[in-house]
């Protein structure tokens, strides 16, 4: 079966290289040093910042994305608005990376549209430093692809809300607020949480935006891996990169498992 | 009424947030030189930069190669699993979704040693990225094909074809493929969009594709990079919009068919 062979070579083998590499030194002798180093000092800091960045943008993205999805779904199901928004969301959520970094450089970079416009009015948005190239800049650009992803994954859940439920709630004397609080809210909650987790994993795995935006230093874990991967200085650092990679895989796996659990709950009501 | 206002408010605010950077890209890439004004020099320069043209061609070829290899590898396997060995269904699904938990940046770390072998055997061509790109698109392609395959009565159709003397090749090409045309198209378009936007693997395996070139050029000529980025975004948007229109038409035509009784919309009047 060529498929299994292919996946074995190009997916399972690399995974194995990462997992096994994390636990050996450059001579191939088993050691815990890589893992220990990866869990200390600048590597740990980067990891924590990665988690914070992912959590922040996941929550912002989830809230804004859910609102946008709601605004779209209350329109006509086959209307132009919905079609354009879902297609645009698909592009912005998946296409990603470098392109979006440049989009924001054109907007709020040193010579960006908004920067120049505000500067002409005496406002310097970089008075506090070159934030666009730092963590807050990353958070801004990440939000730009997190919201569309939320729209994509949350729309089906909103579509699953049956108009009959709202009518039932109303005929029993409930207000719009009661409906959202007692019916739609609880039904949507697992989907919302699950989508938020997906967004978290998405931000945590993202690399291209950060790579294009941050050329110096390595504030987040993927950039630490880049630094280790591209530097030719010390041999044995390779396995440190693998240990960091293993850490990332573990985080994403944990998040995705939770997501799968919530997904199972979601489908109970929304199908 | 206030709900309606709230809705327009959301659309306005988020619409601005999403359109502003795109507009800024257009503005930035059409800035005139020192004397100000507007010109299209950055857009014209796209065709004049051999490095960029090469990268664009590479990415386009990668998109085609990846789509083809993905289909050749995945579609027969999935059909075979559906018909012959449903036991393996879970395994294939697991393998296909596995890339979702392995960030591309980690995949690079694991696959870099393998690529020294790939380049040793196949030469140092950017097109070898196809191999790892197939892995990258597996989850998306799998989902698209899976929904297509489960929507058709694969077993009956293939048995009918077989009993009329068709070989497996004929079944695959003349029965299954036309049946999942839509799913194949959407899997291929997703693949194209993903490959055109891919940066991580190309960059760290040192193969210049479109995104790597854009990133590199951005360091000396931001306007050019921004022009290319906007063009790529619009291209991907066009692809997905076309897909949604094709897909939407399919969905509405299928909605007429279902035999299952749909709940009567008796209470619809209440909503008004």
**Predicted ipTM of the assembly:** 0.85
Q: Using an 8 Å CB-CB cutoff, list chain A residues near B104.
A: 205, 207
The verdict on a CB contact (< 8 Å) between B232 and A99 is: yes
Cβ–Cβ < 8 Å for A54, A260: no
- The answer to whether A71 contacts B10, with C-beta atoms less than 8 Å apart, is yes
> What are the residue ranges of helices labelled H in B180-221?
181-197, 200-204, 210-217
Task: Please report which helix (H) or strand (E) contains residue A223, including its range.
Answer: helix A221-230
How far apart are the C-alpha atoms of B101 and B138, rounded to whole Å?
12
CB atoms inside a 10 Å sphere around CB A157: 23
Q: Write out chain B residues lying below 8 Å of A64, CB-based.
A: 14
Calpha distance A44→A234 (Å, rounded)? 20
CA-based torsion, A207, A94, B29, A141: positive or negative: negative
pLDDT value at position A63? 95
pLDDT at A51: 94
Which chain A residues touch B263 with a CB distance below 8 Å? 164
Rg (CA), chain A: 22
How many Å separate Cα A94 from the centre of its chain? 11
- Give yes or no for B84 touching A (CB within 8 A): no
For residue B35, what pLDDT is reported?
66
- Please check whether residue A147 touches B, CB under 8 A: yes
Residue B71 CA to residue A233 CA, distance in Å, equals: 41
Whether residue B216 is contained in a domain is answered as yes
When CB atoms are compared, the residue of B27, B98, B243 closest to A113 is: B27
CB contact under 8 A, A212 and B218: yes
Beta bridge partners of B38: B31
Instruction: Specify the pLDDT at position A269.
Output: 66
- Say if residue B39's pLDDT is above 60: yes
* Domain of B161, in residue numbers: 50-250
Residue B69 covered by a domain: yes
Q: Is A172 helix (H, G, I), strand (E, B) or coil?
A: coil
Answer whether A151's CB lies under 8 Å from A68's CB.
yes
Interface check for A204 against chain B (CB to CB < 8 A): the answer is yes
- CA of A98, closest CA in chain B: separation in Å? 6
Spell out which residues of chain B touch residue A155, defining contact as CB-CB under 8 Å: none
Give the model's confidence band at B265: pLDDT under 50 very low, under 70 low, under 90 confident, else very high. Answer: very low
Distance CA B158, CA B167 (A): 10
B202 within 8 A of A196, measured Cβ to Cβ: no
B166: left (phi over 0), alpha (psi -120 to 50) or beta: beta
pLDDT of residue B196 exceeding 50, the answer is yes
The structural domains of chain A, ordered by start, are 2-269 (1.10.3720.10)
Q: Is A160 exposed, middle or buried (0-12, 13-18, 19+ CB in 10 A)?
A: middle
Given A18, A148, A204, which is nearest B110 (Cβ)?
A: A18
Q: Nearest CB to A96: which of B25, B112, B197?
A: B197
Residue of B nearest to A16 (CA): B110
Closest in A167, A205, A229 to B270, CB measured: A167
Number of domains within chain B: 1
Residue B260 lies in a domain: no
Residue B1, domain member (yes or no): no
| Tokens representing residue A262 in the block | 């919530």
Residues 114-173 of B with CB under 8 A from A: 114, 131-132, 134-135, 138
Q: Nearest chain A residue to B128 by CA: give it.
A: A10
Q: Do A113 and B23 touch (CB under 8 A)?
A: yes
Q: Does B44 fall in a domain?
A: no
Name the residue with tokens 């009784």: B261
Q: Considering only CA atoms, give the Rg of chain B.
A: 23
* DSSP bridge partners of A24: A30
What is residue B269's predicted lDDT score, i.e. its pLDDT? 31
Q: Which residues of A touch B267 (CB under 8 A)?
A: 163-164, 167
**Residues B216-252: pLDDT tens digits?**
988 888 889 999 999 888 888 887 777 777 766 555 4
Which pLDDT tens digit goes with each residue over A83-117? 888 888 888 887 768 899 999 999 988 888 888 89
Q: Is position B19 within any domain?
A: no
DSSP conformation class of B264: P
CB atoms within 10 A of CB B39: 13
Q: At B172, which CATH number?
A: 1.10.3720.10
Assess if residue B87 is contained within a domain. yes
For position B254, what pLDDT does the model report? 42
Per-residue pLDDT of chain A (271 residues; tens, 9 = 90+): 788 999 888 899 999 988 888 888 777 778 887 888 888 888 888 889 999 999 999 999 999 999 999 998 887 777 788 888 888 888 888 776 889 999 999 998 888 888 889 888 888 888 777 788 888 889 999 999 999 999 988 888 888 888 888 888 888 988 888 888 888 888 888 889 999 999 999 999 999 888 888 877 788 888 888 888 887 655 667 788 888 889 999 999 999 999 888 888 777 766 5
In chain A, positions 12-31, which contact chain B (CB-CB < 8 Å)? 12-18, 21
Q: Are the Cβ atoms of B77 and A170 closer than 8 angstroms?
A: no
Q: Can you tell me the distance from the alpha carbon of B108 to that of B203, in angstroms, rounded to the nearest whole number?
A: 10
Asked if pLDDT for residue B50 goes beyond 60, the answer is yes
Contact B202, B61 (CB under 8 A): no
Does B24 reside within a domain? Answer: no
Span of A45-49, B1-5, B134-138, B188-192 with lowest mean pLDDT: B1-5
What's residue A233's pLDDT? 56
Q: Which of residues 43-72 of B touch A (CB under 8 A)?
A: none
**Residue with token string 């795995």:** A205
For residue A205, with 0-12 CB atoms within 10 Å meaning exposed, 13-18 middle and 19 or more buried, which class applies?
Answer: buried
Dihedral sign from CA coordinates of B163, B168, B172, B176:
positive
**Backbone phi, psi, residue A161, to 5°:** -65, 125
Is B103–A222 a contact, with Cβ atoms under 8 angstroms apart? yes
Task: Give the closest of B27, B211, B271 to A98, CB-based.
Answer: B211
Q: Which among A9, A87, A170 is the nearest to B241, CB-wise? A: A87
Residue with tokens 């378009």: B189
**CA separation for the pair B87, A220 (Å, rounded):** 41
Taking only the tens place, the pLDDT of each residue in B58-110 is: 999 999 999 999 999 999 999 989 888 888 888 999 999 899 889 999 999 88
At residue A201, the pLDDT reads 92
Comparing CA positions, the residue from B74, B93, B95, B67 lying closest to residue B195 is B67
């Amino acid at each position: 079966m060529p498929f299994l062979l292919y996946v074995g070579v190009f997916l399972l083998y690399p995974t194995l290289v990462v997992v096994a590499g994390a636990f050996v030194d450059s001579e191939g002798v088993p050691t815990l040093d890589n893992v220990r180093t990866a869990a200390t000092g600048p590597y740990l800091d980067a990891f924590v910042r990665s988690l914070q960045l992912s959590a922040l943008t996941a929550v912002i993205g989830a809230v804004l994305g859910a609102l946008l999805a709601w605004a779209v779904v209350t329109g006509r199901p086959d209307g132009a608005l919905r079609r354009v928004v879902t297609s645009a969301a698909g592009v912005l959520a998946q296409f990603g990376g470098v392109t979006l970094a440049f989009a924001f450089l054109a907007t709020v970079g040193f010579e960006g549209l908004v920067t120049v416009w505000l500067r002409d009015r005496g406002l310097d948005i970089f008075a506090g430093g070159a934030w666009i190239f730092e963590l807050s800049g990353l958070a801004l650009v990440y939000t730009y692809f997190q919201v569309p992803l939320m729209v994509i994954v949350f729309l089906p859940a909103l579509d699953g809300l049956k108009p009959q439920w709202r009518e039932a709630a109303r005929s029993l004397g409930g207000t719009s607020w009661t409906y959202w609080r007692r019916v739609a809210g609880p039904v949507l909650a697992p989907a919302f949480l699950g989508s938020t987790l997906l967004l978290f994993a998405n931000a945590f795995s993202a690399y291209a935006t950060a790579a294009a935006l941050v050329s110096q230093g390595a504030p987040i874990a993927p950039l630490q891996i880049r630094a280790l991967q591209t530097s030719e200085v010390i041999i044995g650092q390779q396995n440190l990169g693998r240990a960091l990679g293993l850490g990332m895989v573990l985080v994403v796996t944990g998040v995705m498992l939770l997501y799968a659990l919530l997904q199972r709950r979601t489908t109970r009501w929304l199908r | 009424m206030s709900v309606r206002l709230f809705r327009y408010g959301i659309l306005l605010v988020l619409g601005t947030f999403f359109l502003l950077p795109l507009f800024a890209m257009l503005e930035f890439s059409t800035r005139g030189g020192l004397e100000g004004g507007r010109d299209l020099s950055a857009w014209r320069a796209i065709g004049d930069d051999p490095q960029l043209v090469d990268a664009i061609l590479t990415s386009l070829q990668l998109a085609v190669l990846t789509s083809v290899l993905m289909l050749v590898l995945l579609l027969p396997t999935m059909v075979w699993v559906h018909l012959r060995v449903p036991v393996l269904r879970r395994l294939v699904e697991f393998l296909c979704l596995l890339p979702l938990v392995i960030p591309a940046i980690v995949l690079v770390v694991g696959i870099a040693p393998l690529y020294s072998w790939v380049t040793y055997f196949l030469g140092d061509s950017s097109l070898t990225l196809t191999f790892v790109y197939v892995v990258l698109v597996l989850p998306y392609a799998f989902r698209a094909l899976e929904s297509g395959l489960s929507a058709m009565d694969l077993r009956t159709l293939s048995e009918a074809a077989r009993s009329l003397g068709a070989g497996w090749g004929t079944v695959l090409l003349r029965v299954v493929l036309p049946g999942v045309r839509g799913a194949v198209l959407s899997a291929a378009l997703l693949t194209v969009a993903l490959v055109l936007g891919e940066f991580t693997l190309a960059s760290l395996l040192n193969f210049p594709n479109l995104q790597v070139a854009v990133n590199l050029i951005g360091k000396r000529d931001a306007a050019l990079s921004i022009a290319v980025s906007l063009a790529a975004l619009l291209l991907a948007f066009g692809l997905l919009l076309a897909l949604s229109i094709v897909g939407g038409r399919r969905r509405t035509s299928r909605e007429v068919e279902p035999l299952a009784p749909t709940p009567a919309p008796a209470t619809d009047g209440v909503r008004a």
